[in-house]
Every structure is written in C-alpha cells, then in structure tokens.
Structure 1
Amino acid sequence: MKKILIISDTHMPKKGTVFPEPIRDILRNEIDYIFHAGDWTAQSVYEELKTYAPVYGVKGNVDKEDWSKTLPEKVLVDMEDIKIAMVHGHLGKGRSTPERAYRECEGDQADLIIFGHSHIPFHERKGNTILFNPGSPTDKRRQRRFSYGIAMIDQSSIILNHHYFS
C-alpha cells in the first residue's frame, strides 16, 4: 500500500514561509510519495518536500523562475496498477479547470487525474477516470478552509480523501 500526499497551489513564500502544521504533521508521518500539481512559486518548496519523500510535480502558470523550466507540464505515473496523470489545469480548452484537466489527459487512459489551478477542492468520477483537485494548503482564496488530499493506493484500488483545516 502506498500513501500519497497531494497538494497544489502553495504559492510560497508569498502565501506563507513554512508549511502549515497539518501539512507538517503529514510530512513527518509515513508518506510514500508527494504529488504537487503546480504553482509552487519557489524552488525551496520542492527542496523541502523532497526531504520527506519522492516528489512528482508539474509546472503551474505562476512558476516563472529558472528552476521551474525543468518541471514538466504533465506527469504520468504507474503505481500499484493505477495510472496517474497530473497537470496544473490551466492549459487547453474547456470552460472549467476540471474540464481542461480532463481534456489534457483524455488520451492517457488515466485512472486518476490530479490537477490544481482553481484552489477549489474537487473529487468526481468521469467515466472510468477520477478527477481530483486537492485545493490549497496555503492559499484558500474564496474557500472556507485550507485543504490537501491523501491517496491510499493498493493493488489497483484507490481511496482518495480531502482533508480540511482552518
């Protein structure tokens, strides 16, 4: 079984210089992987996260520093018989962020599409694919609470949950 922390839109250090305590608690516990769906803003976010677990990440629309040029627009990962696609969600056609993310990954036959950009937690099935936006742990915008996601993957089964905090 793999336990994955899913975050996006950290916008650090502008929206905080350190991760909030709920995220730090998760990082200190047994996390196998970290998925970051873009808008890191600073390389220091990546550097800190990789001290806890292997990190998969994509470039977001505000990632403009030189280091972010090394980030892909899309990541595809096979894990425990689950195919995961991750994009930020700002590219392509579609009226909504979930629609853009879905269209960007439609040909990848992903079981799970992780995306960010809107800062709005989202968890919905479309056909055989689950669309999941963790929200943001540091920049809730118009949301009532900050949020992140946890995925538990075990031999072709996946359990996804949002976690909220103030």
Structure 2
Amino acid sequence: MKVLIVSDSHGKGKLLQQIVKRVSVDHVIHCGDFCTDRKELPKVSLTVVRGNCDWERVPEEQIWERGGLRFFVTHGHKHRVKTTPLPIRYRAEELGAKVACFGHSHFPFCEQVGNVLLINPGSISYPRGFNYPTYACLELVEGKISVTYYKTDGQKILERGGTFSI
C-alpha cells in the first residue's frame, strides 16, 4: 500500500493535481487548508479534512483504514501542533489510530511518539522553517512503514522520513 500525504496547498490546485498525477499511489490524504472548492480536488481515492482556512464543509477529523492500519487525519490547528505533538498523539490513541496525519505548521515532521507515528507532510505551497515546499509518501510493506519526503518537483529529501515498526 502506498499513500500520498499532502497539506496546506492553499489554493494551488494545479500543483496538487500535478503531484497526484506524477506519484502512483493507492490513496491520497489531504490534511486541510486546500482553500479551493471541493470539486477542484483530485478525483482519486481521497481522505480530506477541513483546515482553519477552508470554507468547504468537510469533516475536521477523519479515520481511514487500509491494510490493517488505522489513520487519524486532521489539520492540527485544534491540537496545538505548532507547540507540542502530545495532544495529537493522545487524540490518535483515543481513536485507536497508529498513524496521525496533520498539517497547519507548514513544517515537515515525522516521528514515532509512543505507539503513534506522527506525520506532517509540510506544505506544498508555502513552507515555514524549511527551505522548500514538501509532501510525503507512506508505504506499508510487511509490517514496516516507510515515509519518504519529496520536494514538489519530485526530488527526494533525504534528511526527512524514515522506516518505522508499527
């Protein structure tokens, strides 16, 4: 299973479409602040949540499951993700999720905290505290999760991501 994780596209629908077209995945997770009409989002297997800048009526939190792995998806602005990972970890545990995907900070972050893998793909439009826009791909193979980060042109970012046991 391969999942594309994006966040904070802030109206850059064409860029989002290009990334989705370039990357061959089973599912796409958008962690909010897409800032377009929902009909402009990619027509693929998609889990999307509402960010603090979105006007479309989509859920603020979603659970998505595949391959025996449960994902908690939210934007993160209501979980203080800019200051600490603990509230989002606790919410994921509360929901029985092993992976929590979130955005809001525009900063790529991937760390296993307790039994939860926290993934912030960064922003494909306006990075903060990082030199370039980013997205992430998650692959589940034989009980191991591999997370790889990319620049929006598809170039791998070696200093982010990793392999995790769940």
- For the aligned pair, the TM-score class normalised by the smaller chain equals 0.7 to 0.9
Aligned length: 153
Tell me the residue number matched to 2:51. 60
One-letter code of the match for 2:122? G
Are the aligned partners of 1:112 and 1:129 in contact in 2 as well (CA < 8 Å)? yes
What is the correspondence of 1:83-98 to structure 2 with a 5 Å cutoff? 83-92=70-79, 96=83, 98=85
Aligned to 2:18: 24
The more displaced of 112-121 and 132-141 is 132-141
| SS of residue in 2 equivalent to 1:105 | helix
Unaligned 5+ runs, structure 2:
154-166
User: Structure 2 matches for 1:91-106, cutoff 5 A?
Assistant: 91-92=78-79, 96=83, 98-106=85-93
Q: Which has the higher strand share?
A: 2
Give the deviation of 1:18 after TM superposition. 2.2
Q: Given the alignment, which residue of 53, 58, 65 partners 1:78?
A: 65
Are residues 92 and 124 of structure 1, via their aligned partners in 2, closer, same or farther at CA, if it must alter by over 3 Å? closer
User: What displacement does 1:41 show?
Assistant: 0.7
SS at match of 2:134: strand
Task: Say if 2:134 and 2:149, in contact at 8 Å, map to a contact too.
Answer: yes
Match of 1:8 in 2: 7
Structure 1 residue 101, shift from structure 2 partner = 2.3
TM-score for both structures, normalised by structure 2: 0.80
What corresponds to 2:162 in structure 1?
none
Equivalent AA in structure 1 for residue 15 of structure 2? F
Query: Structure 1 length normalisation: TM-score?
Result: 0.80
Query: Over aligned residues, Cα RMSD in angstroms?
Result: 2.3
SS across alignment from 2:85: helix
What residue identity is the alignment partner of 1:57?
Answer: V
Q: Which structure's residues are more often helix, by fraction?
A: 1
CA distance in 1, matches of 2:136, 2:82: 24
| Structure of greater relative contact order (alpha carbons < 8 Å, 6+ residues apart) | 1
Runs of 4+ in 1 over 6 A off after TM superposition: none
